[in-house]
Amino acid sequence: MAFPGIGTAVNVLAVLVGSSLGLLLGARLPTRTRETVTDALGLVTLLIGALSAAEVRSAGLVAAVGSAAPVLVVLGAMLIGGIAGSLLNIEARLEGFGGWLRTRLGRGFGRRRQRPEEVPAREGGSRHVPAGTSAADTAIATTRGGRYTSEPGRADYAARERFIEGFVTASLVFCVGPLTILGSLSDGLGRGADQLILKAVLDGFASIAFAASLGAGVMASVVAIVVVQGSLTLLGVFVGGVLSEAHLAAITATGGLLLLGVGLRLLQIKAVPVGNLLPALLVAPMLVSLVAALR
């Protein structure tokens, strides 16, 4: 059994390598190449999802709920979890959280330093002249004691904003999604790091494109990956020590169906709202306990 956390370590390494390549290659990677890789990963996701869903026939689950009930347990989990998730609108809330986080972090960093054109000229001070400032305005500022300097301040501000944009965008893409939750929990539960390794490949190629356009901030997103996925993996380790083999099998089989939904999204066959189905992972072990108690 792989050591819990190995999936996150591989994910971090993939993003570091991918963002480094992105910084070196720029935008040279053809769109058709990225699309081909995404299609290949979508097919592999379907394969991993199918293998995980096959846990519905595991000996532990069959022994707990009977030979006919495992499929009904997973079906009930998907239906109940899907209804609950859609009523809670989890998919939209995840997207909304991403937008809120982007805005919040952008404002937080923005307060630390004003834009060059917003810094007032002051006695004995200096400010950076925005592009297009007339010679007359420069003379007025100089007369009042201000001293204009030119492009370095603007370039420094632009570089900082680009770094922030790269960090926030990459962190949201790499950390806010069903595969992050499924893979991290599976890794912590001792069910293997296959899902996170698949995610690592996806993130690695995505980081090439992000770093090519958004710069080194993409590389810094590994901090968010460690925090988010590490926390979920630890949660899986804790839960795994409490749940039985039957419960874990039900979670794995249900998660496999969710992975099939992720694969369909990657292949652009159908935009399955996987986020709304996430509560099924909680419902599945509850139904196992209920059915086992009624037998």
* Backbone phi and psi for residue 148, each to the nearest 5 degrees, phi listed first: -80, 140
Q: Which amino acid is at 273?
A: P
How many other C-beta atoms lie within 10 A of the C-beta of residue 123?
7
The per-residue pLDDT for range 56-111, each reduced to its tens digit, is 999 999 999 998 899 999 999 999 999 999 999 888 887 777 666 666 655 555 44
282 in any annotated domain? yes
The per-residue pLDDT for range 160-173, each reduced to its tens digit, is 777 777 777 777 67
What is the C-alpha to C-alpha distance for residues 266 and 59, in angstroms, rounded to an integer? Answer: 32
* % of the chain exceeding 90 in pLDDT: 25
141 in any annotated domain? no
Of 6, 36, 47, give the one whose Cα is nearest residue 192.
6
166 in any annotated domain? yes
Joined together, the tokens standing for residue 151 give 């492009």
147 in any annotated domain? no
Tell me which of 148 and 287 has the higher pLDDT.
287
Q: How many domains does the chain have?
A: 1
What is the C-alpha to C-alpha distance for residues 56 and 81, in angstroms, rounded to an integer? Answer: 17
177 in any annotated domain? yes
What is the C-alpha to C-alpha distance for residues 167 and 206, in angstroms, rounded to an integer? Answer: 13
What is the C-alpha to C-alpha distance for residues 228 and 266, in angstroms, rounded to an integer? Answer: 22
Task: Write the DSSP symbol of residue 56.
Answer: G
Structural domain boundaries, residue 230:
6-111+162-294
149 in any annotated domain? no
Joined together, the tokens standing for residue 164 give 């922030």
Of 68, 51, 60, give the one whose Cα is nearest residue 248.
60
What is the C-alpha to C-alpha distance for residues 295 and 290, in angstroms, rounded to an integer? Answer: 9
Tell me which of 285 and 181 has the higher pLDDT.
285
What is the C-alpha to C-alpha distance for residues 177 and 45, in angstroms, rounded to an integer? Answer: 14
Classified as helix, coil or strand, 127 is strand
Flag whether pLDDT at 211 surpasses 50: yes
The per-residue pLDDT for range 213-234, each reduced to its tens digit, is 777 888 888 988 998 899 999 9
User: Which residues in 147-180 are b (16+ Cβ under 10 Å) and which e?
Assistant: ebeeeebbeebeeebebbbbbbbbbbbbbbbbbb
72 in any annotated domain? yes
Task: Tell me if 291 sits within 8 A of 250, measured CB to CB.
Answer: no
Classified as helix, coil or strand, 153 is helix
21 in any annotated domain? yes
Interacting residues of 93 by C-beta distance below 8 A, sequence separation 6+: 275
**Total-model pTM:** 0.68
Q: Which amino acid is at 292?
A: A
